[in-house]
Structure 1
Amino acid sequence: MVEQQELEARYARRTSAKTAVFVYAGHVADACARPGVMAEGDVLLDMVGGRGLRVADIRARASEARGTAGRLLVDITVPSHFGCHAFELGADVQLEALDRVAAGMLRRKVVAISSRTDLTVAGDALDPDDLAAITQGLDSLHERMQRHFDHARALAEYLSCCDSPISGGRVAVSYPGLASHPDHDLATRVLVHGFGPAVDFELPDAWGATAGEFIRRCRLNGRSQPAGGFNTRLHARDGSDGRAVRIFAGLDNPLEIADDLDQAMRWLRNPPAP
């Protein structure tokens, strides 16, 4: 079994960091709340996230943060360290939830904190099974992540074509790899190997359907499967009563996922008579 310090050092080398530690945390924000992670004047940015999967301009924000004597912390969970080299863009600290790195095999959620300088935050002693999952995940990460990225792009391209008459109204798609995305040009400069594994889309108001209803209509919604694993997962971005669905593309066949999405759209647009 690999020692945790050895694995943290391996992760640090992968991310071009000086040091890295692993902590148990439900979210990156929880990790940031730990003593020694964030200080007054520091800024935390989501590399890719929020409504519409907006892309952060790290170079510009790094200059602003240093102007106030703070550090720039960047959450790279969505693109992962495979898809974003935040240190090269000016970040001081990177944070990454390791669900996808560990291929969905973690028993508890782990966040990696890596820094260009020494870290004062203490890591947690991880369960041996979690260490093994991260070790095995790093071995296969590049091949898996490229498939996640490629499948997300395929699904985004499919969804961008979903308008009348099939769906009875245009589906609003947000994906940094589409030319229609407001941050597309920026994304081509700050992301590598593609544009990440996530796709957002919003159901037309005319359908009168919620994201929760849509997800329940999808047979392959992945809700019973672990986050970051083999299966594509659908998530109600703004809650079940909202209209926004976020897709985290898996390693499964994107054509089958697209067909499942299509069937749900057809049903919600023209439900069978009672």
Structure 2
Amino acid sequence: MDKVHLGTLAVHGAWAEEPANAPALLPLYQSAAWAFRDLDEVDAVYEGRLPGAVYVRSGTPNHQALEALLAALHGGEAALATASGMAAFTALFLAHLRPGARVVASRDLYGTTLGLLGDLVRFGVEVVVLDATQLPQVEAALTPGSLLLVETVSNPRMRVADLPALAALARARGALLVVDNTFATPYHARPLDLGADLVVESLTKFLSGHHQVLLGGVVGPRALLEPLRGVAVRAGLVPNPWECWLGAEGAKTLEVRLARASATALHLARFLAGHPKVRAVHYPGLPTHPDHAVASRVLRRGYGAMLAFELAADRQGINRFLRALRRIRLVLSLGGTETTLSHPATSSHRFLSPAEQEALGLHEGFLRLSVGIEDPEDLEGELQGALEAL
């Protein structure tokens, strides 16, 4: 046997046989590049005749596993994992919009989504923002080939989109219905079953559920997904294998987390609605919510783990309220196992103009609550104490 020098051994000496028995968990394939036996194998992997990977940006087994999970949870034909929810929208817009295209968007969207739509105007895309709960407005705005964008449960006012009705309007007008399902997750709604063409999820939030990853995804028919995949690979909009591995692991507890959190959110919504210092509560599970009837048709297994409430307080009063909390922290995200608060006017929607914020009903006293898996009585007690500090 030829003598191998130390420098070569340091590079090639770490080697192990592939085990005959399978690991209990999907392994983490933390490799940016992949080796091939010959050129024929390169062709076979590229063309899908052999399972394999080419380069991390083109996908690894961890990407494939996460995408299979997303497709299964939504009952979709295919899925694309992206580096974030906004990366998912970027890939979607780049793949399906051209100069002169029209996007009809709900005004009740995540603030950064609205900001991204504003960026598209510079490239000749027409963006029409309207109240998507007003179906005649939507019908009048849709044109053949346009893209209708709504959230199942909106951020932060918790408006619920009538997805079957919107899907019917989109089909009649030859438009695509794209649904951001982040607040609902497939636990509470599967928009593809209700007529949507594509579904976007921010896996950073409830799907992963542990504030550990930055991930997004799109689910839908393969014919609509493949153009997005090409854009995502070319533009580098894909996640890394570690994030995909964490996202798939976190999603394993989706049902148990959401069952607990949704029930607790209803409990807290009822408590807050009855408190004299709370001016309004936005939660679709309350009969007083304007979309309660729609939510009862669109959502299943409860009404979600997100709610918002309004206090008649200025910035100083809200700061007193926040400082009185112990376990419920001010966190500018959502969907974790911990219950957190956010202040949309200074976070998710801070880049909207004062007039745009006012049109959405956002003000200093508007707070959004992401409910976790803690004991509901403990959460109620903590909110009660903070309200007393006002």
- How high is the TM-score relative to the length of structure 2? 0.62
1:222 maps to 329
Q: Report the alpha carbon displacement of residue 136 of structure 1 after superposing the two structures with TM.
A: 1.1
- The alignment partner of 2:290 has SS state of coil
- The alignment partner of 2:149 has SS state of strand
**C-alpha RMSD of the superposition:** 2.4
> What is the correspondence of 1:42-191 to structure 2 with a 5 Å cutoff?
42-50=147-155, 52-99=157-204, 100-107=206-213, 109-118=214-223, 119=225, 120-122=227-229, 123=232, 124-163=237-276, 167=277, 170-191=278-299
Q: Does the CA-based 8 Å contact 1:149-1:196 persist in structure 2? A: yes
1:36 corresponds to which of 88, 92, 95: 95
Q: 1:257 to 1:91 in 2, by over 3 A?
A: same
Distance 2:86 2:332 in 1: 18
Q: 1:187 to 1:28 in 2, by over 3 A?
A: farther
2:47 maps to none
Distance 2:256 2:262 in 1: 10
Q: Which runs of 5+ in 1 are unaligned?
A: 269-274
The structure in which a higher percent of residues are helix is 2
Distance 1:55 1:265 in 2: 28
Q: Does 1:244 align with 2:350?
A: no
Q: Report the alpha carbon displacement of residue 102 of structure 1 after superposing the two structures with TM.
A: 1.1
Q: Which runs of 5+ in 2 are unaligned?
A: 1-26, 29-60, 102-145, 348-362
Q: 1:106 to 1:50 in 2, by over 3 A?
A: closer
1:271 maps to none
Flag the structure with larger Rg.
2
Q: Does the CA-based 8 Å contact 2:209-2:251 persist in structure 1? A: no
Distance 2:324 2:389 in 1: 8
- How high is the TM-score relative to the length of structure 1? 0.86
Larger RCO, structure (CA 8 Å, separation 6 or more) = 1
Q: Report the alpha carbon displacement of residue 225 of structure 1 after superposing the two structures with TM.
A: 9.1
Deviations 1:166-209 (A, max 9, x none): x4xx431110000110110110110011101111110025x785
Structure 1, 98-107 or 186-195: larger mean CA deviation: 98-107
- The alignment partner of 1:91 has SS state of coil
- The alignment partner of 2:373 has SS state of coil
Structure 1, 176-185 or 45-54: larger mean CA deviation: 45-54
2:388 maps to 266
